[in-house]
Amino acid sequence: MGLEFIYINGQTPLDEEEKEDLKIKTISTRGELDEFEQANIEKAIEWTLKINPTYDKILSVAFIKEVHKRMFSEVWGWAGTFRKTNKNIGIDKYQIEIELTALMADCKFWIENKIFAEDEIAIRFKHRLVKIHPFTNGNGRHSRLCADILISKGLKGKVFTWGSQNITEKGVTRSKYLNAIYEADKENIIPLLDFART
């Protein structure tokens, strides 16, 4: 279908097969794609405001998939299903469910034993979730919304501000965000923790 996407730093490219799974065939530019995705995500956010899941419910494979599905199902056929190809970011596709299950068990342990402060639990969860990279695309946005649901509903805190600027577009705030992610990759979670409350 000849779509020309320009990928900004830290974004996962889509392969041809994945592009074919675009539900809205009239989308022809990256800007249009962003707009349709954003409209879909806004509906997902509305849904999160109406629900009241416990942390136990949030930390389940079914819930993690449902969030992705609600964010992207109007745009992508693969919304809510784990990726079937390997990417430049993320673990091997066959390890996704195993690693996710381990992450959620760790997270419940941190909560129940107060291993870290609540913000830190949600941010560590977000970072490992995006490292696993369960889905074909949308993993950054999905991991942030999941962290917001965990902190606000599961742990009764306040949603994060994530730099208070658009971080899906290239710019200073996105650079700060990515640098914080790279620090977290090196076991230093503090910059991401600070960024999330900036």
Ligand X SMILES: Nc1ncnc2c1ncn2[C@@H]1O[C@H](COP(=O)(O)OP(=O)(O)O)[C@@H](O)[C@H]1O
d(CA 62, CA 83): 15
Q: Which of 3, 45, 89, 155 binds ligand X (CB under 6 A)?
A: 89
Query: Hey, what amino acid is at 187?
Result: E
One of 22, 83, 103, 139 touching ligand X (CB under 6 A): 139
**CA distances (Å), origin 142, targets 16, 24, 44, 114, 126:** 22, 20, 10, 25, 9
Question: What is the rounded distance in angstroms from the CA atom of residue 115 to the CA atom of residue 2?
Answer: 50
In the complex, least distance from residue 9 CB atom to ligand X, rounded to whole angstroms: 8
Q: Collapse the DSSP code of 193 into the 3-class scheme (helix H, G, I; strand E, B; otherwise coil) and give the result.
A: helix
Pick from 80, 140, 154, 163: which binds ligand X (CB under 6 A)?
Answer: 140
Tell me, by CB under 6 A, how many residues bind ligand X: 14
When CB distances to ligand X are compared, the closest residue is 140
CB of 93 to ligand X, least distance (A): 14
Task: State which of residues 137, 153, 159, 160 lies at the interface with ligand X (CB under 6 A).
Answer: 137
Task: Report CA-CA distances (Å) from 26 to 21, 22, 31.
Answer: 13, 9, 12
Residue closest to 23 by CA, chosen among 100, 78, 86, 96 = 78
Query: Which one of ligand X, Mg ion, none interacts with residue 134, CB within 5 to 8 A by kind?
Result: none
Helix count (H) and strand count (E) of the chain? 9, 0
40 binds, among ligand X, Mg ion, none (CB under 5 to 8 A by kind): none
What, of Mg ion, ligand X, none, does residue 141 touch, CB below 5 to 8 Å by kind?
ligand X
Q: Rounded to whole angstroms, how far apart are CA atoms 115 and 11?
A: 32
From 54-62, 111-119, 131-139, 153-161, give the range in contact with ligand X by CB under 6 A. 131-139
Query: Which range touches ligand X (CB under 6 A), out of 21-29, 67-75, 107-115, 180-188?
Result: 180-188
Cα 90 → chain centroid: 12
Contact call for residue 11 and Mg ion (CB under 5 A): yes
Q: Does 40 bind Mg ion (CB under 5 A)?
A: no
Q: Which of 185, 188, 190, 197 binds ligand X (CB under 6 A)?
A: 185
Residues lying near Mg ion in the complex (CB under 5 A): 11, 137
